[in-house]
C-alpha cells in the first residue's frame, strides 16, 4: 500500500513521527513523507527530523509564508500535481495548519482515501484560522482519528458517520513516551543559568495574542510582573519575535535579567525544560496536552481551547494576562500526574490497525 504522510509545520512533526515509525516496520507499507514547506528553517523544521526519527522528506513542496489563502491554494495546486503522478492509496494529514485541509481536498477530489490525524477537536471559535481548518478537514476525510471522547462527540454532533470515527488516543504522547529517556538525559541549557532555580516555561504564538500591539503589550507587562517572582524561560516562535520587534517590545523583554529568551528549541531540550518547570504559560495546543500528561500546571492565555479534556481531566486552566501574575504565584504541581484514557503511547498502533483493516 502506498501511503503519503503530509507535514507542514512544527506541531505536525511530533504527530507524524510515531505513525511513520509504526508504518515503516510493515512490509506491506510503502511510505512517502511529503513536507509542504510551511516551516522551513533549521530551528522550526530540520532539527526535528533526526531527533524524532523522521527521514528527510521525499518531496518538499517549498510553500512557505504568504497569506492564508495563498498558502492553502498553493498547497492544493502543488500537491494535486504530486498526487496525479504518484497516485498513493492513502493520504494522511495532521493537525490543523493550512496545509491540512488543502492536502485533504486535493486527495479526496482525486478519490484517494484520506485520513485526518487529530480529528474532532473544536474550540467553537471560528475567528481561529485553525478552527476553520479542522472543520473543513473533518468534513471531507474518510478516516477520522480522534484523541479523546470529546472529539468523537463533536464529530457525531456535526453529523459525521460513526464508522469514520476511530478513537486512537493522543499520538503526541507516543512521541513523548518514546523519547522520555532521551529527554531525561538532556541537560538544561547552561547559558540560561536556571539550574536549581525555580522557573516557568513560556511559549506564545497564536495570532490572537501576538498580532495585536495592545494585547502583546499587556502580555509583556504581565510577564515582566511574573519575572519578579521567578525566572521565565521564553523560547521565541519566529512570529512572536517579529511582532515584539515590530511593536517595539523586544528590548523591554530582552533587558529583563530573569526572562531568559531563547530561539525555538529542539524537542528534547524543550521537553527537558518543560519537565523541570514549576508551571508553563502558553497558548500552544500541543503544550496543553504535554503538561496535562506530565502533571505540570499549564496556564493557557486564551479564551477557549479545542482540548477541553486538558481542563476537565488535566492540569490546564484558561486565563487572561491581567490574572497571570497572581495565578502563577499560587500555582503548585499536583502530587500525581493525571491519567487520561488512551494517552498511553500506543495511539500509532491503534491507527495502524485502522490502516490494516483497509488491506
Ligand atoms: N516545541 C519544541 N520546541 C519549542 C516549542 C515547542 O519542540 O521551542 C514542541 C512542543 O512539543 C509542542 C510542539 O512543538 O507541543 C508544537 O508546538 P507549537 O506550540 O508550535 O504548536 P501548536 O501545538 O500550538 O499547534
Q: Is the pLDDT of residue 64 over 90?
A: no
Nearest CA to ligand 1 atom 21: 11
Q: How many CB atoms lie within 10 A of CB 190?
A: 8
Q: How much distance in Å is there from the Cα of 306 to the middle of ligand 1?
A: 16
With the most atoms of ligand 1 within 8 angstroms of its CB, the residue from 284, 289, 294, 298 to mutate is: 284
What is the per-residue pLDDT for 40?
81
- The atom number, within ligand 1, closest to the CA of 96 reads 25
**Strand order from edge to edge, sheet including 231-235:** 259-262, 231-235, 199-203, 279-282, 298-300, 316-318
Report residue 41's pLDDT band, with 50, 70 and 90 as the boundaries.
confident
The pLDDT score that the predictor gives to residue 102 is 98
pLDDT confidence band for 198 (50 / 70 / 90): very high
With pLDDT > 70 as the criterion, what percentage of the chain qualifies? 100
103, 93 contact by CB (below 8 A): yes
Distance from residue 247's CA to the centre of ligand 1 (Å): 24
Confidence check: pLDDT of 194 > 80? yes
Distances (CA, A) of 339 to 38, 78, 128, 289, 302: 34, 42, 29, 12, 24
Catalytic hit among 4, 116, 205, 237: 205
Q: Is 205 a catalytic residue?
A: yes
Mutate to test the pocket of ligand 1, among 7, 8, 11, 273 (most ligand atoms within 8 A of CB): 11
Position 48 scores a pLDDT of 95
pLDDT band, residue 359 (cuts 50/70/90): confident
Measured CA distances, 185 to 3, 66, 336 (Å): 34, 39, 22
What is the Å distance from ligand 1's center to 10 Cα? 6
Q: Could you tell me what percent of the chain has a pLDDT over 90?
A: 96
* Whether the model pTM is above 0.85: yes
Atom of ligand 1 nearest to the CA of 11: 16
Q: Looking at residue 248, what is its pLDDT?
A: 98
Q: Which atom of ligand 1 is nearest to the CA of 95?
A: 25
Residue 296 CA to ligand 1 centre (angstroms): 16
pLDDT for the residue 42: 83
Q: What is the largest CA-CA distance in the chain?
A: 59
pLDDT at 203 over 90: yes
- Expressed in angstroms and rounded, the spacing between residue 213 Cα and the centre of ligand 1 is 23
Q: Indicate the top mutation candidate among 287, 292, 305 to test ligand 1's pocket, ranked by most ligand atoms within 8 A of CB.
A: 287
Mean pLDDT for 180-188 is: 97
Q: How far is the CA of 284 from the centre of ligand 1 (A)?
A: 7
Residue 221: predicted pLDDT? 98
Please identify, by atom number, the ligand 1 atom nearest to the C-alpha of residue 48: 7
Q: Whose CA is nearest to atom 3 of ligand 1?
A: 265
- The binding-site residues of ligand 1, defined as CB within 6 angstroms of any ligand atom, are 10-11, 14, 203, 235, 264-265, 267, 270, 284-287, 290
Residue nearest atom 6 of ligand 1, based on CA coordinates? 270
Q: Is the pLDDT of residue 178 over 80?
A: yes
What is the mean pLDDT of the segment spanning 92-112?
A: 98
Amino acid at each position: 500500500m502506498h501511503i503519503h504522510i503530509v507535514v507542514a509545520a512544527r506541531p505536525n512533526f511530533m504527530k507524524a513521527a510515531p505513525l511513520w515509525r509504526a508504518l515503516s516496520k510493515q512490509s506491506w507499507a510503502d511510505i512517502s513523507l511529503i513536507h509542504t514547506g510551511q516551516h522551513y528553517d533549521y530551528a522550526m523544521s530540520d532539527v526535528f527530523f533526526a531527533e524524532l526519527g523522521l527521514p528527510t522528506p521525499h518531496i518538499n513542496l517549498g510553500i512557505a509564508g504568504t497569506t492564508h489563502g495563498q498558502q492553502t491554494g498553493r498547497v492544493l495546486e502543488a500537491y494535486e500535481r504530486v498526487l496525479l503522478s504518484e497516485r498513493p492509496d492513502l493520504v494522511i494529514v495532521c493537525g490543523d495548519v493550512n496545509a491540512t485541509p488543502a492536502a485533504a481536498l486535493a486527495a479526496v477530489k482525486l478519490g484517494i482515501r484520506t485520513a485526518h490525524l487529530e480529528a474532532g477537536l473544536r474550540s467553537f471559535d471560528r475567528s481561529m484560522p485553525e478552527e476553520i481548518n479542522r472543520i473543513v478537514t473533518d468534513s471531507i476525510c474518510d478516516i477520522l482519528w480522534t484523541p479523546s471522547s470529546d472529539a468523537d462527540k463533536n464529530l457525531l454532533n456535526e453529523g459525521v458517520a460513526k464508522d469514520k470515527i476511530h478513537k486512537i488516543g493522543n499520538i503526541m504522547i507516543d512521541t513523548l513516551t518514546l523519547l522520555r529517556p532521551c529527554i531525561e538525559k538532556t541537560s538544561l541549557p547552561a547559558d540560561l543559568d536556571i539550574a536549581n532555580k525555580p522557573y516557568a516555561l513560556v511559549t506564545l504564538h497564536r495570532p490572537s495574542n501576538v498580532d495585536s500591539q495592545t494585547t502583546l503589550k499587556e502580555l509583556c507587562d504581565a510577564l515582566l510582573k511574573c519575572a519578579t517572582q521567578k525566572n521565565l524561560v521564553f523560547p521565541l516562535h519566529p512570529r512572536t519575535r517579529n511582532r515584539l520587534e515590530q511593536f517595539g517590545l523586544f528590548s523591554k523583554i530582552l533587558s529583563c535579567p530573569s526572562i531568559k529568551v531563547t530561539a525555538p528549541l529542539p524537542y528534547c531540550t524543550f521537553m527537558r525544560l518543560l519537565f523541570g518547570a514549576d508551571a508553563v504559560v502558553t497558548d500552544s495546543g500541543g503544550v496543553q496536552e504535554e503538561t496535562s500528561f506530565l502533571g505540570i500546571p499549564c496556564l493557557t492565555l486564551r479564551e477557549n481551547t479545542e482540548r477541553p479534556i486538558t481542563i476537565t481531566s488535566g492540569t490546564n486552566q484558561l486565563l487572561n494576562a491581567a490574572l497571570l501574575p497572581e495565578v502563577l504565584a499560587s500555582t503548585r504541581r499536583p502530587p500525581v500526574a493525571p491519567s487520561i484514557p488512551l494517552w498511553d503511547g500506543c495511539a500509532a498502533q491503534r491507527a495502524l490497525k485502522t490502516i490494516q483493516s483497509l488491506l
